[in-house]
Amino acid sequence: MKKKGFTFLAILVATSTVISISTSFMNYPKKKEKFQRFETYVVQQGDTLWSIAKKYTNGDPRRLIYEIRKHNDISPIIRPGQAIEIPILNK
């Protein structure tokens, strides 16, 4: 009787793990976003990548911050006067 209970528990844990992992990937973007154009932005005193990205997106700015950093090959630290290209999503 104990062996059946252990087997049931192992199956239950394995199933829950698979379900958890699969649902976490459901929200991941399925296709790459296409950027047709770029706008040049000159960093002002007090700007952050977050504040700049918020100007160019209505939603969560994290994806755009990633794209800005990748396209411009920059670290999270930006300086006033620095020109960066902002990828504009093709709509």
- pTM score of the predicted model: 0.60
- CA 59 to chain CA centroid, nearest Å: 11
Give percent above pLDDT 90 in the chain. 51
pLDDT in tens, 65-88: 999 999 999 998 999 999 999 998
Determine contact, residues 83/41, Cβ cutoff 8 Å.
yes
CB count within 10 Å of CB 21 equals: 9
Count of other CB atoms within 10 angstroms of residue 87: 19
